[in-house]
Amino acid sequence: MADTIAVRIEHLSKKYRLFSSKSHRLLEALDPRRRTYHREFWALRDVTLEIPRGTTVGILGLNGSGKSTLLQIISSVLQPSAGTVQVEGRVAALLELGAGFNPELTGRENVVLNGTIMGLPREQIRERMDSIEDFADVGEFFDQPMRTFSSGMFMRVAFATAIHVDPDVLVIDEALSVGDAKFQEKCFRRFRAFQEAGKTILFVTHDRSAVPRLCNYGVLLHQGQLVAAGDPGHIVDLYAELLTFGELRGAHSGRDARLAAVEASENTASALDSPTPAATPRATTDDVCAANPLYNRYEHRSGNRHAEIIDFVIRDGATVNPTTIRTGARLEIEMTVRFDADVEAPIVGLVFTNHEGIVIYGINTEMLKRRILSARIGDVRNYRFGIRVVMSTGNWFLDFAVAESSTELCDQRCALAHLYVLDDAAHVGLARFEADFADDSAG
């Protein structure tokens, strides 16, 4: 294996035999004619993938897509039915709750057991025991049988053990949300330290926002097969399409939409637009978003189309649809929605993202506890948000969305509008806070 590759997966498949009852399992084992009483289920089928050393990989997919099975094979918990997996270096795995832990042993005893399984000599485990106990922070329970632990305490000890093994490859299956906010912050701080140290991290998550925020590589699985691998923003958009339609329709990715818009943009640092007369959204039933100067032709769109966003207007005071705004401006953001089906209590919302697809701020009417009147087929409605912009200098994008429930999107137009923000203040970060300073020690 090349030194630059941490995990190499070639034509990997995992097959399970599913029986409708225990008696059928027994019948198949004893049948002299070798008749089959099972059906085959392929959790993974012909997956080929190379993960470079030092990469943080977010693995997405619907339930039953093979994500956990893939991690279990990489961690040597399961053996493949076909294909090979080669892993360079020591692997530490945080799999489903309780995996590798004996509930009758104490937390301390399980640390020794799991550390040994992961390849760490017992002397080194004992040397790191105080640090593991301190990081897990479960108090006196550390020396109690783990059957007395809560699920959160279970994962605290598992996470503390895994990171102190000092692995070359860290495998995490939905375990980054354990404990309270302070413990989560500590986990993410160590997560970042692993990234800075050049470790390889693979984790399964259903949190779409976590992938572009934490990863530099994404993987999408569907029905046991590898659909796509690469840019995390692109993978997140494909995953959103699967969630919406149950299939991929070949649309542009929102991540690509943002990058393409930035590359195509000209004069983004120009002076602020001069005021133009105020306008209202056009009274039309046609989609006229493309006529807006802020429109991003590389947008990514998804939804069931029971309602469609057909126009938008952004106002900065008297200026309509400015391509450049200053930090601190209060924007009036309007959208026009045409309803192509009856929608009870629709939900509308906005999301600000940067060019990497990282969400900076999002709001919708459900969060604001504002119930919208039901709409009937053929209705055209105008909705308006007022938002004060506090982002730093750079390219920003607006996603618009309308939904008929918290889980059913009618129309989501990612990176529909492209803005450039100017901020004269000196600071670092994505947002600008109001700050002052005093030296109370001065005489």
Q: Which two tokens stand for residue 110?
A: 């399980």
Is 99 domain-assigned? yes
How far apart are alpha carbons 405 and 412 in whole angstroms?
13
> Model confidence at 99, in pLDDT bands (50, 70, 90)?
low
Supply the Cα-derived Rg of the chain in whole angstroms. 26
Is 111 domain-assigned? yes
Asked if residue 268 and residue 226 are part of one domain, the reply reads no
Is 437 domain-assigned? no
> Residue 270: its pLDDT value, please?
39
Question: Residue 202, Cα to own-chain centre: how many angstroms?
Answer: 13
How far apart are alpha carbons 233 and 253 in whole angstroms?
8
Asked if residue 9 and residue 85 are part of one domain, the reply reads yes
Total residue length of the chain? 443
Q: Is the predicted pLDDT of residue 217 greater than 50, yes or no? A: yes
Asked if residue 229 and residue 121 are part of one domain, the reply reads yes
Query: Are the C-beta atoms of residues 184 and 135 closer than 8 Å to each other?
Result: no
Q: Work out how many domains the chain is built from and give that number.
A: 2
Asked if residue 281 and residue 133 are part of one domain, the reply reads no
CB-CB neighbours of 55 under 10 Å = 19
Is 436 domain-assigned? no
CB-CB neighbours of 52 under 10 Å = 14
Asked if residue 345 and residue 204 are part of one domain, the reply reads no
Q: Is the predicted pLDDT of residue 51 greater than 90, yes or no? A: yes
SS3 assignment, position 409: strand
Is 389 domain-assigned? yes
Please provide residue 301's backbone torsions phi and psi, each rounded to the nearest 5 degrees.
Answer: -130, 140
> Residue 96: its pLDDT value, please?
63
Asked if residue 342 and residue 225 are part of one domain, the reply reads no
Q: Is the predicted pLDDT of residue 210 greater than 90, yes or no? A: no
How far apart are alpha carbons 230 and 217 in whole angstroms?
5
Looking at residue 127, which CATH number applies to its domain? 3.40.50.300
| 346-397 residue pLDDT tens | 999 999 988 777 788 999 999 999 999 999 999 999 999 999 999 888 889 9
Please provide residue 351's backbone torsions phi and psi, each rounded to the nearest 5 degrees.
Answer: -140, 130
Looking at residue 324, which CATH number applies to its domain? 2.70.50.60
Query: Are the C-beta atoms of residues 201 and 93 closer than 8 Å to each other?
Result: no
| Containing structural domain, residue 190 | 5-245
Average model confidence (pLDDT) for the chain?
84
Please provide residue 137's backbone torsions phi and psi, each rounded to the nearest 5 degrees.
Answer: 55, 55
Asked if residue 395 and residue 268 are part of one domain, the reply reads yes
Is 215 domain-assigned? yes
Asked if residue 363 and residue 328 are part of one domain, the reply reads yes
> How large is the average pLDDT for residues 222-231?
92
Asked if residue 226 and residue 152 are part of one domain, the reply reads yes
pLDDT cut 90: percent of the chain above it = 44
Asked if residue 127 and residue 169 are part of one domain, the reply reads yes
| 117-159 residue pLDDT tens | 877 888 899 899 999 999 888 889 999 998 898 878 888 888 8
Model confidence, pTM: 0.66
Asked if residue 267 and residue 241 are part of one domain, the reply reads no
Asked if residue 53 and residue 165 are part of one domain, the reply reads yes
Is 257 domain-assigned? no
Is 430 domain-assigned? no
